[in-house]
Amino acid sequence: MKKFLEEFKTFALKGNVMDMAVGVIIGAAFQAIVSSIVSDIISPLLGSFAGMNFDTLSVSINGATLAYGKFITAVINFLIMAFVLFMIVKTINKISSMLHEEKVEENEKKKSDELIALEKIVSLLEEKK
Mean pLDDT, consecutive 10-residue segments, the chain of 129 residues?
Answer: 84 74 86 85 78 79 88 86 87 86 70 76 83
Amino acid 4 reads: F
Assign 92 to helix, strand or coil. helix
Q: What is the pLDDT of residue 51?
A: 75
Q: Compute the distance between CA of residue 104 and CA of residue 110 in angstroms, rounded to an integer.
A: 10
pTM of the model: 0.56
Q: Compute the distance between CA of residue 37 and CA of residue 80 in angstroms, rounded to an integer.
A: 10
Q: Compute the distance between CA of residue 54 and CA of residue 70 in angstroms, rounded to an integer.
A: 7
Q: What is the pLDDT of residue 111?
A: 65
Q: Cα-atom radius of gyration of the chain, to the nearest Å?
A: 29
Q: What is the pLDDT of residue 108?
A: 65
